[in-house]
Amino acid sequence: MTEVLSLLFTPRSVDHPPAALGLVKLLPTLVRNPLETWPRPLFTERLFWQSFAGRPLLFVMDPVLIDEVLVAKAAVFTKAPIIRRTIGPAVGNDSIFTAEGAQWRWQRRAAAPPFRHATILGFVPSFHAAAARTASALEARGGETVDVAELMMATTFDVIVETMLSGAASFDTRRFGAEISHYFDTVGWIAALSILRIPSWVPYPGKRRARAGNLFLRREMARVIAERRARSGTTPDLLDFLIAAADPETGRAMTDAELADNLLTFVVAGHETTALALTWAIWLLSNAPDVEARLLEEVGRVVGDGPVEAGHIDELVYVKQVVQEAMRLYPPAPLIPRIASEDVTLGGERIAAGTPVYVPVYAVHRHHLIWDEPEAFDPDRFAPARARALHRGAYLPFGAGPRICIGAAFAMAEAVAILATLVRAVRFIPIAGHQPLPTIRLTLRPDGGMPMRVEPRARP
Ligand code: HEM
């Protein structure tokens, strides 16, 4: 057993402090990389109280208690104000991601149809086509070093525009991605100021740039909505469903501003996360030749040389395991923040109304009480029989409960199709000595991107 484990690839990990940082160290570290503020007990304890500027905050790592927070008592543990403060400026405070109660429920229902199983399978040709375009571009760049993170962003952006907005809009992909990044880069500041209870109008580095970027993104969404209102008669996509939706209680439809907020939510939430899952998966694979060989064998056997089709997705079992394990080590959404909306008890702890209660997904996924060799890359953890034995609160890349990611099945099918297509066409080679560290920028990004060398694989 030990022999087998010792062969597994174990990536370099962030150096976590032994205990919670004091305010003086905490603030600059939060701005640089919030992950570096997470103390080691998050990886070994079931619960951990931390004081932020005199206010208590509870981290929950016990899968049973996580289930209670996100599922059983979801009505009590609502989305924390930090979500509205960090994400609200980008996607509005009443969009599907940020709203609560009735305002959230009807939007969730309105957005559900494109995420039904049969509809998702219908998108597989788009997943394959986007990956095939990226693969051809890479085949032409043999021997070069490319930024895999940037390439995956462009690939999944293509997918989201094509599937959710029927490819109608001519977006400037690079500018779009850059504006999102500028905004995400300021999130450390927003979090630090929020901890100090400094009002949101106070300036901080990058704020003006980020605000200009947000305006650009919203203008782009307004353009897409105006174009769609001017034409009709196509196969309905997400935008059509949102335009047609009416609140069952009031009969009210979404205003153009609400439509823009929701579209932006879907475009941002729906491409960046999947791109990161793919980026980390490709890098992990390139460091684990045995895993890569097994994956290639499966792709060859199930798909052959042709395109990945809908019928292949469920058969690419090992490819899925690789994606799942990549999201265990590097969950694209590393933290799920909630707040107790009333006095409540959890695991014997009394929690006062107004207390932030955070599920640190990244720490849960590397927790010593949950996983053997938590830092090692081992896709066999997700072999179907072993995965069934996992507690549902132990593995949460998509969250859990009523606010679980609406795009989870879409993202899994997309990631499987893209990974299979790319790895079959191109060999990704890690840069010697480059060990990317994960950085929280709302999502979990590789610090400094993901430079890798590419070589086309010989065709059989
Ligand atoms: C690997 C890819 C993805 C990951 C890791 C991910 C992760 C998450 C997580 C953790 C949440 C829950 C947040 C919370 O409870 O506070 C969430 C919510 C959400 N995700 Fe995803 N997501 C992914 C892909 C997608 C895709 C492809 C779409 C759409 C096309 C999408 C749209 C959304 C939306 C709209 C919500 C808010 C749902 C609600 O509150 O009702 N996500 N996502």
Kindly report the pTM of this predicted structure: 0.94
Domains annotated on the chain, with CATH: 2-456 (1.10.630.10)
Which pLDDT band holds residue 168 (cuts at 50, 70, 90)? low
Q: Which atom of ligand 1 is nearest to the CA of 411?
A: 27
The pLDDT of 340-346, averaged and rounded, is 97
333 lines ligand 1 (CB under 6 A): yes
Question: Residue type at 423?
Answer: V
403 lines ligand 1 (CB under 6 A): yes
Model pLDDT, residue 220: 85
Q: Name the DSSP class of 358.
A: E
Q: How many CB atoms lie within 10 A of CB 116?
A: 12
Q: How many CB atoms lie within 10 A of CB 45?
A: 17
Q: Which atom of ligand 1 is nearest to the CA of 402?
A: 41
H/E stretch holding 163 reads helix 148-164
Q: Which atom of ligand 1 is nearest to the CA of 410?
A: 27
Here the tokens at position 221 are: 């969404």
HSE-up of 359 (CA within 13 Å, CB side)? 29
Which pLDDT band holds residue 233 (cuts at 50, 70, 90)? low
Q: How far is the CA of 405 from the centre of ligand 1 (A)?
A: 4
266 lines ligand 1 (CB under 6 A): yes
Contacts of 266 (CB under 8 A, 6+ apart): 111, 160, 164, 238, 407
For residue 1, pLDDT beyond 60: no
Which pLDDT band holds residue 237 (cuts at 50, 70, 90)? confident
- For a substitution probing ligand 1, which of 272, 282, 329, 405 has the most ligand atoms within 8 Å of its CB? 405
Q: How far is the CA of 141 from the centre of ligand 1 (A)?
A: 33
